[in-house]
Every structure is written in C-alpha cells, then in structure tokens.
Amino acid sequence: MVEQLGRSGIEVVDVYASYDNHLALESVSFSLNSPFYSLLLGPNGAGKTTLIKVLVGLLKPLKGRVSVYGFNPLTEKNSLSKLVGYLPQPGTSRPSSFIKIRDLVAMGYLSTKRPPRFVSDEVEKVVSDSLRAVGLEDLADRYLNSLSSGELHRAIIASTIARSPRLLLLDEPLASLDFNSKCELAELLLKLHRDRGVDIIMSTHEITHCAYFNPVVILINRKVLAYGSMREVLTVDNLRKAYPSITEVSGLTILAEDHAVKR
C-alpha cells in the first residue's frame, strides 16, 4: 500500500517503463518516508537502473506517478536537482584524472552557486567538512588518477554531499570494490544518513555489508516482489522469486550473489 507522503518522502505508484518494446518496469509501487536508507535489490536486468533513472527524471515512465519530496522528476527537474545527488554506476562518468580531490569537491559545491564563482573561505570549509565526512581529509591534495577505486568513490561522494543533498541515489556503488572497501562505503553512507539526515537509495547485488542495521529493501525483478525491512523481505520464498537459480546446501540457501539465508 502506497502512502500519501507529499514532501516528506518518495512515492512511486503503478509505474511502467520501457525501452522500445521491452518492458523494464511493470506496475512498480512503493513509498519511502524520510528518513530512509533503502536498498534496491534484484538480479541483472531487473530494472534497478531504470527505476533510478525514473526517480531522477532521466527516463519518462510509460504510465504511473512518481513524486520525490513532492516534486515530479520530469517537470520539476531544477527544484529536484538541488535535493538529489545522483551517482551513476561507477565508470559511467569518470571525472578528469588531472584534478585534485579538493578541486573536485569544490566544483561540486560551486555548481550550486551562480557565477561569478570564487574559492572563498566558505568553500574551503565546505570542502574540508565534506572530505572529513568521507575520511579523505588527508588526501585532499592527491590527484584523482592516484586513487584506488574505493577512494575515488569516496571523493565523488564528497563532491556530491558538498551540495548538501537531501537524497543520495547511488547505482551499484559497491560494484568493483573489494570486501573491506564495500563495508567501509556502506558504513560511510550509514554515517551520512545518521549524522546528516541524508536519505539513501542504493542499488546493489550485495547486502551483507548492510545486514546489521536492517535497512529497507525493495526486491525487484521488473515488478516489485517484496519491500519492507531487510529481515522481512529476505525470506527464501521471496528470494526464489527474484533469483530462480538459488540452491540449497546443508540448510543454507545459496544465491549466485553473496546472500546466504538460513531456512
């Protein structure tokens, strides 16, 4: 059941989206009431990226209603862009390697200001606050091409949070990170959520890193198969709907990805 949230959250009601004749989302409905930390979970091709694109107004649904803090992403993009930090899949838009982390973050902040734009004390403060929030203050003068994947992710997140978004929408930010970096990034997002009140929607194939704080999970495979707290959603029956090839070994249900669920 979708709540009427208005400006206090996100509502998606009976949304369909397609590419040419291929239906990528079918009758998708859910609501998230702020504050939320939510995971979009589903196999490859489930429509996670498509749903994120609908939420940021990059894709027009065939039908249905989408409200992000009371704004229509298609017709009120400018108002919404001030509230939403969108991080596409890593590698989709890599910033220039020849700038320093501090300049990337300053550019993030200055993008919210009208020209002429100067690097003032205020900008320096936002840069150092944002870098502290992601644990990169000691690397502020490093060039992007000298960073590991995990550090680059954190630098991009710092440049996004410098704009003080209300919502971070991250498309598979954990992909291509090693196990420790995945844990660190999930932890960092939780800290932003708890300390700064940033709402989070993250598409992912992996949930182990987030299991201990029991986030909201939206399990999709073109349709919403289940949504609610992770502990409610991650039942064998629900997972089997999304991942038909799961198998059971010694009482554990094993997915092709990283989830193991006890019966």
**Residues 6 or more apart whose Cβ sits within 8 Å of residue 131:** 101, 102, 105, 137, 139, 140, 158
- Contact status: 21 vs ligand ADP (CB under 6 A): no
Residue 250 CB, shortest distance to ligand ADP, in Å, is 30
Sign of CA dihedral 211, 222, 54, 44: positive
**Which part of the chain contacts ligand ADP (CB under 6 A), choosing from 17-25, 27-35, 117-125, 243-251?**
17-25
Which is nearer to ligand ADP, 45 or 91 (by Cβ)? 45
Contact predicate 158/131, CB 8 Å: yes
Which is nearer to ligand ADP, 19 or 98 (by Cβ)? 19
Residue type, 144: L
User: Binding residue for ligand ADP (CB under 6 A) from 19, 115, 116, 237?
Assistant: 19
Which is nearer to ligand ADP, 17 or 105 (by Cβ)? 17
Q: How many other C-beta atoms can be found within 10 angstroms of the C-beta atom of residue 78? A: 9
Residue 136 CB, shortest distance to ligand ADP, in Å, is 28
Q: Please state the φ and ψ torsions of residue 211, each to the nearest 5 degrees.
A: -60, -35
Nearest to 204 by CA among 218, 184, 222, 223: 218
Tell which positions 22-81 bind ligand ADP, by CB under 6 A. Answer: 22, 24, 42, 44-50
**Residues 6 or more apart whose Cβ sits within 8 Å of residue 38:** 32, 199, 200, 201, 202, 215, 216, 217, 218
Which is nearer to ligand ADP, 166 or 223 (by Cβ)? 223
> How many whole angstroms from its chain centre is CA 229?
17
Contact predicate 201/52, CB 8 Å: yes
Residue 155 and residue 136: Cα distance in Å, rounded?
Answer: 7
Residue 126 CB, shortest distance to ligand ADP, in Å, is 32
Q: 195-234 mask for ligand ADP (x: CB under 6 A)?
A: ----------------------------------------
Residue 48 CB, shortest distance to ligand ADP, in Å, is 4
Which is nearer to ligand ADP, 22 or 262 (by Cβ)? 22
Residue 176 CB, shortest distance to ligand ADP, in Å, is 15
Residue 93 CB, shortest distance to ligand ADP, in Å, is 16
> What residues line the site for ligand ADP (CB under 6 A)?
19, 22, 24, 42, 44-50
